[in-house]
């Protein structure tokens, strides 16, 4: 039978799993802001969770030297052993937790780590519990591999912490994992050791997103590995070391999952960037002073932003103590956070993130990032104050 070339033509219809995926709304806000800037409009960016610092000098020097040394080829799919050993030493020093380097998979940022954890864990129909609000992309990772995201609402009055009894009420025979994120995006709050312990004892595997560890200003962030070995840890270098564009992360997994995850890595990603892996070693072993300096500055910005938002009239019940976000109730302005965020962008020339991006329970909230200079934060708060006064004045007419 003659094969018709027309059979190869695309229908132009995307796969349903891609069509169902929601956009990352903060990126929609950022891209709209960039379009406005291209037209000459000055925008203050408090929407994006990206450090405004450059990577530490030891990091850029390590990348440069690696390139000069010709370290530009594929590495072992799990990552170079020197970096995995440095990550292992970091977890032992910081959390007193021994981690075999053979349980570590180095990835091109933390997103591939989340994807591979979900792909290795979930069969079609398996359930994963997530807090609501949560990091915007978690449900898409889960649903892309045919899992089901089960949202457990958390409240501002409780510091946006999980209540173990609320999780227990949602457990079924299909529950495969519980996602935790402490310090959390978008709330900036921490999960207590007692609640982490309780979650670890519930039975499902825990997937702990620890990407904001090190960015803590009050209290202490705990690794899930302090409480159980039946856990996946997602971490990386983007936030703490201001290395977002270098794309370097890692996944710590139970030994039984390493070979399946290694096959995922080999097929989908091959290996993380070789030269950047050398930079990761430098970050973990030489950048302590840089991290301490950036953390002190973030804390100054945090306090300044909280004070400024309260002055404008936002009620912050529990102050965030980690990451670089303040998540505030803005329902006195609008119950439609998406429309509100874009209205603020258009009228106040200020980028903020709508709470609906982070789950249904985030509706009516706005997320402000203080990963920007005090000068820009101050200007952004001034613009926000003028916007709020304008909205309130219109409401009184």
Angle value at C-alpha 18, between 342 and 273, nearest 5 degrees: 90
Distance CA 83, CA 331 (A): 46
Spell 328-360 as b/e; 16+ CB within 10 A means b.
Answer: bebeebbeebbebbbebbeebbbbbbbbbbbbe
Distance CA 372, CA 381 (A): 12
Q: What is the DSSP string of 39-53?
A: TT---EE-S----SS
Q: List the structure tokens of 230.
A: 């039946």
pLDDT of amino acid 87: 98
Domains of the chain, each with CATH number or no CATH: 13-54+289-396 (3.90.1150.10), 57-287 (3.40.640.10)
Helix 337-348 to helix 25-38 angle (10° resolution) is 20
One digit per residue, the tens of pLDDT, for the chain of length 397 reads 444 444 445 556 888 888 888 889 999 999 999 999 999 999 999 999 999 999 999 999 999 999 999 999 999 999 999 999 999 999 999 999 999 999 999 999 999 999 999 999 999 999 999 999 999 999 999 999 999 999 999 999 999 999 999 999 999 999 999 999 999 999 999 999 999 999 999 999 999 999 999 999 999 999 999 999 999 999 999 999 999 999 999 999 999 999 999 999 999 999 999 999 999 999 999 999 999 999 999 999 999 999 999 999 999 999 999 999 999 999 999 999 999 999 999 999 999 999 999 999 999 999 999 999 999 999 999 999 999 999 988 865 4
pLDDT of amino acid 23: 87
Helix 110-121 to helix 255-268 angle (10° resolution) is 120
| Strands (E) located in 264-376 | 325-329, 350-351, 353-354, 365-369
SS3 state at 327: strand
Specify the length of the chain in residues. Answer: 397
**Residue 273 burial by Cβ neighbours in a 10 Å radius (0-12, 13-18, 19+):** buried
**What is residue 54's DSSP assignment?**
P
Question: Quick one: what percent of the chain has pLDDT higher than 90?
Answer: 92
């Amino acid at each position: 039978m003659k094969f018709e070339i027309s059979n190869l033509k695309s229908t132009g219809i995307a796969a349903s799993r891609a069509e169902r995926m929601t956009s990352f709304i903060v990126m929609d806000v950022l891209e709209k802001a960039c379009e406005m800037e291209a037209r000459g409009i000055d925008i203050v960016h408090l929407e994006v969770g990206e450090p405004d610092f450059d990577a530490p000098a030891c990091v850029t020097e390590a990348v440069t030297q690696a390139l000069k040394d010709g370290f530009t080829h594929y590495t072992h799919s799990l990552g170079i052993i020197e970096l995995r050993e440095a990550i292992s030493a970091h977890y032992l020093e910081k959390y007193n937790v021994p981690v075999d380097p053979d349980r570590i998979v180095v990835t091109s940022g933390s997103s591939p780590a989340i994807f591979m954890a979900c792909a290795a864990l979930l069969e079609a129909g398996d359930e994963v519990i997530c807090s609501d609000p949560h990091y915007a992309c978690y449900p898409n990772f889960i649903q892309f591999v045919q899992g089901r995201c089960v949202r457990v609402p958390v409240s501002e009055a409780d510091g946006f912490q999980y209540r173990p009894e609320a999780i227990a009420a949602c457990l079924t025979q299909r529950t495969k994992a519980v996602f935790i994120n402490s310090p959390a995006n978008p709330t900036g709050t921490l999960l207590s050791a007692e609640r982490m312990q309780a979650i670890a004892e519930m039975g499902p595997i825990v997937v702990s997103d620890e990407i904001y560890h090190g960015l803590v200003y009050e209290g202490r962030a705990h690794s899930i590995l302090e409480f159980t070995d039946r856990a996946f840890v997602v971490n990386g270098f983007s936030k703490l070391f201001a290395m977002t564009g270098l794309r370097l992360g890692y996944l710590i997994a139970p030994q039984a999952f390493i070979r399946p995850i290694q096959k995922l890595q080999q097929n989908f990603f091959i290996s993380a960037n070789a030269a950047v892996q050398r930079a990761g070693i430098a970050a973990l072993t030489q950048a302590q002073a840089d991290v301490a300096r950036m953390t002190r500055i973030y804390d100054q910005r945090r306090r300044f932003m909280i004070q400024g938002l309260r002055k404008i009239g936002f009620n912050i019940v529990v102050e965030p103590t980690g990451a670089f976000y303040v998540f505030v109730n803005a329902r006195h302005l609008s119950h439609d956070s998406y429309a509100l965020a874009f209205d603020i962008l258009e009228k106040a020339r200020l980028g903020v993130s709508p709470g609906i991006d982070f789950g249904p329970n985030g509706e009516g909230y706005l997320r402000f990032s203080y990963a920007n200079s005090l000068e820009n934060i101050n200007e952004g708060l001034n613009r926000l104050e003028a916007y709020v006064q304008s909205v309130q004045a219109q409401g009184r007419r």
